[in-house]
C-alpha cells in the first residue's frame, strides 16, 4: 500500500502543486474524450464503416487499454509516473492522425488499440491508475477523499467542455456549408492538440508524486503484497462495474441517439454537457455523503440508482424519454 507520509521526501513542499498538475492533466485528457466521444462513432459511420466494424474499432481500444494497464501495473516503480503519463498522452494524440489518412478498418483498429479511441472517462486505463497513485502519494488520509473528488470533478468539467466544442462542427456544417467529414476532421485536429497539451502538462510533476520504492522492489506484483486481499476485492468490484460501463460508453451513446432517435451532434453534445454538470454536483457531494454513510455504501447505492436509469434508457421509445 502506498505511504501517506511525504515529509521525508526532498520535494515534500510541493504536494499541492503536484495535485493541481494531476487535476489539470485529467481535465485536459477528458476534455479530449468529451469531444471525441460525441463524434467518433458518427465519423466512422460516415467514412463507410459498418456498425460491426465500429464495434471492432471501439473494442480494440478497450483491449489496448487493458493491456497497457497491465504493463503499467508491473512497471510503475521502474518507470516514473511522469514519464508514463506524458507517453500515454502523446501516443493518444498521435494515434488520431490515422483517421485523417485511411478508411481501412484494420489500420484504424490498430490506432484505436494504442490510442484509446473509446476511452470512457473515469472507467478507463493506465492514466487513471497513475493519477490515483500520484494523488495518494501527495495527500494524507484526512484529505484524500476530497482530493479524489476534485480529480473526478476535473474529469467531469473537462468532458463537459469537450462536448461543448462540438458546436464548432455544428456551426461549420449548418452555417458555413461544410461537409460533415471535413467539419469533424477539424474537431479531430483539436483533439490532437488537446492531448499534446495534456502530455506537456504532466512534465512538471515532481518526484513527490512517485511511489516510495524499497531496494529490490522495482517491479510490482500486486498479488504478493500484504494488502492483496483488499486489492483483489476492490478490483473485482470495480471490474464488474467497468464491465457494464464498457458496454455503454459515450461514443456508443452518441451513435445510438443518432441512429434510433435522429439526434444530431449538437443536441447530443448538449445532453452530454448536462450529464457532466449533474455528475459534477454528485461528485462534489460525495465526500460529505461518504462521511455519513461510508465510502462503500456511497459507491454501491449511487451505482444502483444509475444502473436502474440505464436499464430504462435501453427501453426508451423516444429521444425525450432516453434523455
Tell me which residue of 250, 213, 241, 223 sits closest to 42, measured CA to CA.
250
What average pLDDT does this structure show over 191-216? 84
Contact 44, 54 (CB under 8 A): yes
Between the two ends of the chain, the Cα-to-Cα distance in Å is 41
What's the whole-model pTM score? Answer: 0.77
Please tell me which of 64-73, 138-147, 190-199 the model is most confident about, judged by mean pLDDT.
Answer: 190-199
Tell me which residue of 22, 31, 72, 51 sits closest to 258, measured CA to CA.
51
Residues 6+ apart with CB under 8 A from 296: none
Contact 89, 147 (CB under 8 A): no
Quote the pLDDT of residue 322.
67
| Whether residue 214 has pLDDT greater than 70 | no
pLDDT-above-90 percentage for the chain? 26
Residues 6+ apart with CB under 8 A from 72: 84, 126, 129, 130
What average pLDDT does this structure show over 5-27? 68
What average pLDDT does this structure show over 83-101? 92
Mean pLDDT of the chain: 79
Domains and CATH numbers, the chain: 15-213+226-322 (1.20.1250.20)
Residues 6+ apart with CB under 8 A from 287: 145, 146, 149
Quote the pLDDT of residue 9.
42
Residue 5's pLDDT band (boundaries 50, 70, 90)? very low
Residue 14's pLDDT band (boundaries 50, 70, 90)? low
Residue 124's pLDDT band (boundaries 50, 70, 90)? low
Name the more confident of 321 and 216: 321
| Whether residue 213 has pLDDT greater than 70 | no
In Å, what is the CA distance from 3 to each residue of 9, 125, 154, 268?
11, 23, 24, 43
Distance, in Å, from the CA atom of 169 to the CA atom of 174, rounded to the nearest integer, reads 8
In Å, what is the CA distance from 249 to each residue of 48, 243, 298?
21, 11, 22
Please tell me which of 92-101, 156-165, 204-213 the model is most confident about, judged by mean pLDDT.
Answer: 92-101
Amino acid at each position: 500500500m502506498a505511504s501517506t507520509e511525504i515529509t521525508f521526501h526532498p520535494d515534500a513542499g510541493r504536494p499541492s502543486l503536484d495535485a493541481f498538475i494531476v487535476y489539470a492533466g485529467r481535465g485536459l485528457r477528458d476534455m479530449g474524450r468529451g469531444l471525441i466521444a460525441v463524434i467518433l462513432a458518427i465519423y466512422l459511420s460516415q467514412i463507410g464503416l459498418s456498425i460491426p466494424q465500429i464495434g471492432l474499432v471501439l473494442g480494440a481500444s478497450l483491449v489496448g487499454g487493458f493491456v497497457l494497464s497491465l504493463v503499467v501495473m508491473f512497471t510503475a516503480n521502474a518507470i516514473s509516473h511522469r514519464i508514463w503519463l506524458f507517453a500515454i498522452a502523446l501516443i493518444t494524440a498521435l494515434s488520431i492522425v490515422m483517421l485523417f489518412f485511411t478508411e481501412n478498418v484494420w489500420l484504424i483498429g490498430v490506432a484505436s488499440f494504442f490510442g484509446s479511441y473509446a476511452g470512457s472517462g473515469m472507467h478507463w486505463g493506465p492514466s487513471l491508475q497513475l493519477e490515483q497513485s500520484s494523488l495518494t502519494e501527495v495527500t494524507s488520509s484526512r484529505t484524500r477523499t476530497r482530493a479524489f473528488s476534485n480529480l473526478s470533478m476535473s474529469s467531469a468539467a473537462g468532458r463537459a467542455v469537450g462536448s461543448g466544442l462540438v458546436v464548432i462542427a455544428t456551426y461549420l456544417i449548418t452555417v458555413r456549408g461544410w461537409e460533415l467529414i471535413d467539419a469533424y476532421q477539424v474537431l479531430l485536429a483539436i483533439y490532437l492538440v488537446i492531448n499534446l497539451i495534456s502530455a506537456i502538462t504532466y512534465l512538471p510533476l515532481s518526484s513527490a508524486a512517485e511511489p516510495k520504492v524499497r531496494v529490490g522492489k522495482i517491479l510490482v506484483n500486486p498479488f504478493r503484497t500484504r494488502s492483496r486481499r483488499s486489492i483483489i476485492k476492490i478490483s473485482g468490484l470495480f471490474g464488474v462495474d467497468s464491465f457494464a460501463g464498457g458496454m455503454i460508453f459515450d461514443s456508443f451513446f452518441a451513435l445510438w441517439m443518432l441512429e434510433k432517435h435522429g439526434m444530431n451532434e449538437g443536441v447530443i453534445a448538449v445532453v452530454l454537457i448536462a450529464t457532466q454538470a449533474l455528475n459534477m454536483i454528485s461528485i462534489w457531494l460525495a465526500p460529505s455523503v461518504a462521511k455519513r454513510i461510508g465510502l462503500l455504501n456511497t459507491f454501491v447505492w449511487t451505482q444502483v440508482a444509475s444502473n436502474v436509469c440505464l436499464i430504462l434508457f435501453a427501453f426508451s421509445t423516444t429521444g425525450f424519454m432516453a434523455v
